[in-house]
């Protein structure tokens, strides 16, 4: 599949739109442009959603804490998009009940009023009305909740999803629409014509060759790396982005055995935290720590790990232990802002800008509003590139795998493609067996990822096509040799490549483990 993409990218014809960046915003922009009928090429430096877009708290939400700050417009837009996303990707977005516990009477009133406002802003796209619950029902929803002094709480519903799988659904939708997408193709320069940016130069890391592609307009959707892309045009351009690290822990399911999630409504730094059942584990996050520069693999600090475990322990009957942490991960938020002050106070809104040379940059925002961001970026790109004016159609565009018939079981994330995946698993002996006893994936899914989802490396499979690295870092190290063996067969790689891939993945996975305190 990738060889066909490379051949098409080298075709020599001028594209209508070239999108730089294969995260949520870049993939969404590419889908929007292709759906309007524009010839679109997407280039990603590493793997699709390798950065921030696969490292979220897995929530499709309006942002309860933004409502408390009076950012009503942002919350209303996000809640509307939450409803559209559930309609367009029902196999990946689900409703989850959350409990906000209360130990003081005024908290019940405050949380109740705030969440009723959340319900009203969602309108007819709501996921269910919030309600007040007593102490007995609260502990029924969250059996491990701290009971001393508990008065009850507010239960509400919000959206949950698998961020990396949604990114792959966008990728496959884009390809279905006739788009061409390349991962492992970092942009190293821009092509100019009469002072205008009319294309990019990229390196195909798989072959080492240079790709020069021209377009009527280039859209920079580089996320936290957007400033680096902007400086390919103008090395002296000032920074637009302040990066903020959000760290997460993945815990044993015993920490939160019920089906409801828990919102920790009060922390020392004024944030809220979530403990959420996810893929047979419990996700705990997130932090908000300002960082200098950008990193491909940001890691939670020891202080963040302690912060998360401590704050979770304040609301649970027993504090989670370090030895219950199966994996850790962190992402960098691309926030708009300059100067000092805490990043937690910076806006989560997005912005579209056009450089002097005509390169369009889209940045800021969050996963829930990716579709609006993409539509805004393509509107601007069409104007800058002189493309035929066509409206966005993504509001009702169903993503790859969407099905009106619910798909259950371990392959539910593939949606309507699940029967084809199942057929592949049965096509060879052993492919229907577990990839590892502690992981919910089967061997043949590695081949599917290589054939249909542009997976090039062991990391692509274990971190994003499956979520194995986040679920159990130790287990993925044990599974890596089998993954490398199958990938080598699918991609035509030799034994030296296979050994190097295992070594590289083992080094990566080591950083996802939490050692003893």
> What one-character-per-residue DSSP string does 320-340 give?
PPGGGEEEEEEEEEEEE--SS
DSSP characters over 89-103: -TTTEEEEEEEEEES
CATH code given to domain 412-510: 1.10.8.870
**Token pair 């990043």 is at which residue?**
343
- Does the fold of domain 412-510 match that of domain 54-157+252-327? no
**Phi-psi group of 501: left, alpha or beta (phi > 0 → left; psi -120 to 50 → alpha; rest → beta):** alpha
339 — pLDDT class (breaks 50, 70, 90): very low
Flag whether pLDDT at 502 surpasses 90: yes
**Phi-psi group of 21: left, alpha or beta (phi > 0 → left; psi -120 to 50 → alpha; rest → beta):** left
pLDDT of residue 151: 97
pLDDT in tens, 67-83: 877 889 889 999 999 99
Partners of residue 193 on adjacent β-strands: 196
- Write out the two tokens for 162: 């698998």
CATH code given to domain 2-52+165-240+346-396: 3.50.50.60
348 — pLDDT class (breaks 50, 70, 90): low
Angstrom CA distances, 204 to 45, 113, 190, 208, 361, stand at 9, 54, 15, 5, 23
- Across residues 416-437, what is the average pLDDT? 98
Q: How far apart are CA 295 and CA 333, in angstroms?
A: 11
pLDDT of residue 338: 52
Dihedral, CA atoms, 300, 301, 305, 310, nearest 10 degrees? -140
- Across residues 359-380, what is the average pLDDT? 96
- Across residues 148-155, what is the average pLDDT? 98
Extract long-range pairs of 496-501: CB within 8 Å, 24+ residues apart: 501/457, 501/458
Flag whether pLDDT at 343 surpasses 50: no
Angstrom CA distances, 416 to 168, 339, 356, stand at 14, 47, 45
Closest Cα partner for 157 from 59, 248, 237?
Answer: 59
- Across residues 44-61, what is the average pLDDT? 97
Calculate what percentage of the chain has a pLDDT beyond 90: 90
Least confident piece of the model among 126-130, 259-263, 407-411: 407-411
- Across residues 159-184, what is the average pLDDT? 98
What's this model's pTM, rounded to 2 decimal places?
A: 0.96
Partners of residue 246 on adjacent β-strands: 331
- Across residues 337-342, what is the average pLDDT? 52
Confirm if 22 and 454 have CB atoms less than 8 A apart. Answer: no
| Alpha helix segments (H runs only) across 61-126 | 64-68, 72-88, 105-122
- Across residues 160-168, what is the average pLDDT? 98
- Across residues 14-30, what is the average pLDDT? 98
Flag whether pLDDT at 337 surpasses 90: no
**Token pair 């309006």 is at which residue?**
62
| In this structure, CATH architecture of domain 54-157+252-327 | 2-Layer Sandwich (3.30)
Angstrom CA distances, 437 to 8, 74, 303, 440, 464, stand at 41, 43, 32, 8, 19
pLDDT in tens, 440-492: 999 999 999 999 999 999 999 999 999 999 999 999 999 999 999 999 999 99
pLDDT of residue 322: 94
pLDDT of residue 406: 78
- Write out the two tokens for 281: 């584990």
Q: How far apart are CA 370 and CA 85, in angstroms?
A: 10
Confirm if 247 and 237 have CB atoms less than 8 A apart. Answer: no
pLDDT in tens, 218-246: 999 999 999 999 999 999 999 999 999 99
Q: What rounded mean pLDDT belongs to the chain?
A: 95
pLDDT of residue 405: 83
**What residue spans define the domains of the chain?**
2-52+165-240+346-396, 54-157+252-327, 412-510
Pairing of strands 210-220, 360-364: parallel
């Amino acid at each position: 599949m990738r060889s066909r993409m490379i051949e098409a990218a080298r075709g020599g014809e001028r594209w209508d739109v070239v999108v730089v960046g294969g995260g949520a915003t870049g993939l969404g922009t590419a889908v929007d442009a292709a759906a309007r009928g524009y010839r679109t090429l997407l280039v990603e430096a590493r793997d699709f959603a390798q950065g921030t877009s696969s490292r979220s708290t897995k929530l499709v939400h309006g942002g309860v804490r933004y409502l408390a700050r009076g950012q009503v417009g942002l919350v209303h837009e996000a809640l509307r998009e939450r409803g559209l996303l559930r309609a367009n990707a029902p196999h990946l977005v689900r409703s989850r009940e959350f409990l906000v516990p209360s130990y003081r009477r005024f908290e019940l009133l405050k949380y109740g009023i705030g969440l009723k406002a959340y319900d009203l802003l969602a309108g007819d796209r709501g996921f269910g009305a919030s309600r007040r619950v007593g102490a007995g029902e609260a502990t029924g929803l969250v059996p491990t909740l701290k009971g001393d002094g508990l008065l009850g709480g507010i239960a509400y519903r919000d959206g949950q999803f698998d961020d990396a799988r949604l990114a792959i659904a966008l990728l496959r939708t884009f390809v279905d629409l006739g788009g061409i997408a390349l991962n492992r193709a970092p942009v190293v320069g821009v092509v100019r014509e009469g002072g205008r940016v009319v294309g990019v130069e990229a390196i195909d890391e798989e072959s080492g060759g240079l790709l020069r592609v021209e377009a009527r307009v280039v859209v920079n959707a580089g996320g936290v790396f957007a400033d680096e892309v902007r400086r390919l045009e103008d090395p002296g351009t000032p920074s637009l982005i302040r990066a903020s690290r959000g760290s997460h822990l993945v815990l044993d399911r015993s920490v939160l055995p019920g089906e409801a999630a828990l919102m920790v409504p009060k922390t020392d730094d004024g944030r809220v935290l979530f403990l959420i059942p996810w893929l047979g584990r419990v996700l705990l996050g997130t932090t908000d720590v300002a960082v200098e520069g950008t990193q491909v693999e940001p890691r939670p600090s020891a202080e963040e790990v302690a912060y998360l475990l401590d704050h979770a322990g304040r609301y649970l009957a027993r504090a989670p232990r370090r030895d219950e942490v199966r994996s850790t991960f962190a992402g960098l938020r691309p926030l708009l802002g300059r100067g000092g002050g805490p990043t937690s106070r910076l806006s989560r809104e997005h912005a579209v800008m056009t450089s002097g040379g005509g390169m369009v940059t889209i940045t800021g925002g969050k996963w829930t509003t990716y579709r609006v961001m993409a539509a805004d970026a393509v509107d601007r790109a069409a104007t800058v590139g002189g493309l035929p004016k066509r409206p966005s159609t993504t509001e009702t565009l169903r993503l790859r795998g969407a099905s009106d018939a619910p798909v259950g079981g371990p392959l539910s994330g593939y949606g309507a493609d699940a029967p084809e995946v199942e057929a592949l698993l049965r096509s060879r002996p052993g492919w229907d067996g577990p990839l590892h006893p502690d992981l919910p994936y089967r061997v043949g899914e590695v081949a599917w990822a290589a054939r249909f989802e542009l997976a090039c490396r062991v990391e692509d499979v274990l971190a994003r096509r499956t979520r194995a690295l986040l679920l159990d870092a130790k287990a993925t190290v044990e599974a890596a040799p089998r993954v490398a063996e199958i990938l080598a067969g699918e991609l035509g790689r030799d034994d030296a490549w296979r050994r190097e891939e295992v070594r590289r993945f083992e080094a990566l996975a080591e950083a996802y483990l939490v050692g003893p305190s």
